[in-house]
């Protein structure tokens, strides 16, 4: 089944062999499986993967091969994808707003857990979801709560999450209705400070005490950071340790089983993006020429305007020689005619770059393949397999 794809030694191997005109994302299955292993070894509970960050089939199958057995899904499409690729996986349907036909679809695909953050959405779940699943195990419903944001690059609480008071009522109602009662939160994305998780776990303790219900599980969300800035390596183990310690302190002997659902933190650093310089256009003011790439914010760089610049970028000539000139700040535009199609800030790039050169950007696996558009006729983005990402 499937197409046998060439595995290249590294991105330069591919660049030299093909000289691509369209943008490319490189996946290193070895890097992805190693990152999965880091979570499986370090996180004090069940590691699930948030499919929305990157639903490429090679991502899902490699995570499953590494031992990831649970998936956070948000739509019937994602549910069907995981059931097809990893039939025995535990599905956690953690989009707290669902149409009734989507709930019925989820029940038909034996979803194990549903999150909820409002009474009206809990009414819908109670109307359509049986207390017991096919094999007889109880169905879990998790009350999702929010706090004022700390430490996240992007505020998820603005859309989803109940107040502590509402979460208390939801948790009580879930238990009374005969479902496995649990709690969940999502601290944001690219959170670098363990304190973000600590504040939520303490709130989970307050909600559980006020409800008089001990949650079976506490899902500590995603939000784990990836390596975006060369000098700042994500301190995942410090975050894992803090989650375990605070949960033990808050809940004592009754500590709920822990779950996490990283998207970015699992997948981002398993990919690198390759974009080609279409033009170095005279800025007209005697300053540095503006760089025009064949990829931009409607393509693999979609989330940069929200998340901020990244600096793990190297430049190569078409025959694969690295440009080692002094780095200067450049304005970088994407290929579309839209004026917002520009990377944030200035990119520090070598002064000896030329038209036709390539930029290789590390850490590009999250919210890139899946948010790519075909706007303006661009966006022919291919995924290639490599052994290693850094030439």
Ligand X SMILES: *Cc1c(COP(=O)(O)O)cnc(C)c1O
> d(Cα 154, Cα 225) in Å, to the nearest integer?
12
Nearer to ligand X, 11 or 221 (CB): 221
> Does 261 help bind ligand X (rule: CB under 6 A)?
yes
CB of residue 144 to ligand X, shortest distance in Å: 7
Nearer to ligand X, 189 or 336 (CB): 189
If you ran DSSP here, which 8-state letter would residue 345 be given?
Answer: S
Nearer to ligand X, 79 or 349 (CB): 79
CB of residue 224 to ligand X, shortest distance in Å: 6
* Phi, psi torsion values for 323, nearest 5 degrees: -80, 120
Residues 89-108: x where in contact with ligand X by CB under 6 A, - otherwise, as a string: -----x--------------
Closest residue to ligand X, based on beta-carbon distance: 222
Alpha helices in the chain, H assignment, sequence order: 11-18, 29-42, 57-66, 76-85, 100-108, 119-128, 164-176, 195-211, 236-251, 264-267, 304-307
Contact set for ligand X, span 37-76 (CB under 6 A): 50, 52-53, 72
The window from 102-110, 220-228, 244-252, 339-347 that contacts ligand X (CB under 6 A) reads 220-228
The window from 56-64, 217-225, 276-284, 327-335 that contacts ligand X (CB under 6 A) reads 217-225
For residue 149, count other CB atoms closer than 10 A to its CB: 17
CB of residue 107 to ligand X, shortest distance in Å: 20
> d(Cα 233, Cα 250) in Å, to the nearest integer?
29
> d(Cα 315, Cα 274) in Å, to the nearest integer?
10
> Does 360 help bind ligand X (rule: CB under 6 A)?
no
> Does 189 help bind ligand X (rule: CB under 6 A)?
yes
The residue whose two tokens read 């036709």 is: 356
Instruction: Show Cβ contacts of residue 6 under 8 Å, excluding neighbours closer than 6 positions.
Output: 384, 385
CB of residue 51 to ligand X, shortest distance in Å: 9
Instruction: Show Cβ contacts of residue 289 under 8 Å, excluding neighbours closer than 6 positions.
Output: 280, 281, 282, 283, 330
List the one residue from 70, 161, 234, 265 that touches ligand X (CB under 6 A).
Answer: 265
Please give the structure tokens belonging to residue 137: 């195990």
Sign of the Cα pseudo-torsion (316, 55, 69, 222, in order): positive
List the one residue from 145, 224, 271, 333 that touches ligand X (CB under 6 A).
Answer: 224
CB of residue 242 to ligand X, shortest distance in Å: 16
Q: How many chain residues touch ligand X (CB under 6 A)? A: 17
Contact set for ligand X, span 130-159 (CB under 6 A): none
List the one residue from 181, 194, 222, 299 that touches ligand X (CB under 6 A).
Answer: 222
Please compute Rg for the chain using Cα positions.
Answer: 22
List the one residue from 146, 228, 264, 330 that touches ligand X (CB under 6 A).
Answer: 264
Interacting residue ranges for ligand X, rule: CB under 6 A? 50, 52-53, 72, 94, 186, 189, 221-224, 261-265, 366
């Amino acid at each position: 089944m499937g197409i046998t794809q060439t595995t290249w030694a590294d991105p330069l191997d591919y660049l030299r062999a093909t000289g691509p005109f369209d943008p490319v994302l490189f996946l290193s299955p070895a890097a992805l499986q190693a990152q999965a292993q880091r979570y499986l070894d370090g996180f004090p509970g069940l590691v699930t993967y948030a499919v929305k960050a990157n639903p490429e089939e090679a991502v899902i199958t490699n995570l499953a091969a590494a031992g990831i057995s649970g998936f956070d899904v948000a739509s019937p499409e994602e549910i069907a994808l995981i059931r097809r690729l990893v039939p025995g996986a535990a599905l956690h349907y953690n989009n707290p707003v669902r149409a009734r036909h989507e709930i019925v679809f989820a029940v038909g695909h034996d979803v194990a857990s549903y999150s909820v953050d409002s009474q009206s959405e809990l009414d819908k779940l109670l109307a359509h979801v049986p207390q017991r699943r096919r094999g007889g195990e109880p169905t879990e419903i998790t009350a999702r709560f929010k706090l004022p944001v700390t430490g996240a690059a992007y505020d998820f609480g603005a859309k989803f999450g109940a107040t502590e008071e509402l979460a208390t009522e939801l948790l009580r109602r879930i238990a009374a209705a005969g479902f496995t009662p649990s709690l969940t939160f999502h601290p944001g994305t690219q959170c670098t400070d363990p304190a973000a998780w600590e504040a939520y776990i303490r709130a989970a303790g307050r909600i559980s005490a006020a409800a008089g219900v001990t949650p079976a599980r506490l899902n500590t969300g995603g939000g784990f950071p990836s390596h975006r800035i060369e000098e700042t390596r994500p301190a995942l183990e410090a975050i894992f340790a803090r989650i375990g310690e605070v949960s033990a302190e808050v809940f004592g002997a009754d500590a709920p089983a822990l779950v996490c659902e990283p998207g970015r933190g699992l997948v981002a650093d398993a990919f690198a993006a390759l974009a080609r310089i279409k033009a170095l256009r005279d800025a007209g003011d005697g300053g540095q020429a503006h760089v025009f790439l064949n990829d931009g914010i409607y393509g693999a760089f979609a989330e940069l305007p929200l998340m901020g610049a990244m600096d793990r970028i190297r430049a190569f000539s078409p025959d694969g020689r690295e440009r080692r000139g002094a780095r200067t700040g450049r304005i970088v535009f994407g290929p579309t005619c839209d004026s917002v199609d520009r990377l944030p800030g200035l990119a520090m790039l070598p002064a000896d770059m030329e038209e036709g050169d390539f930029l290789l950007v590390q850490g590009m696996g999250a919210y890139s393949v899946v948010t790519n558009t075909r706007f303006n006729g661009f966006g022919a983005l291919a995924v290639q397999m490599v052994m290693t990402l850094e030439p």
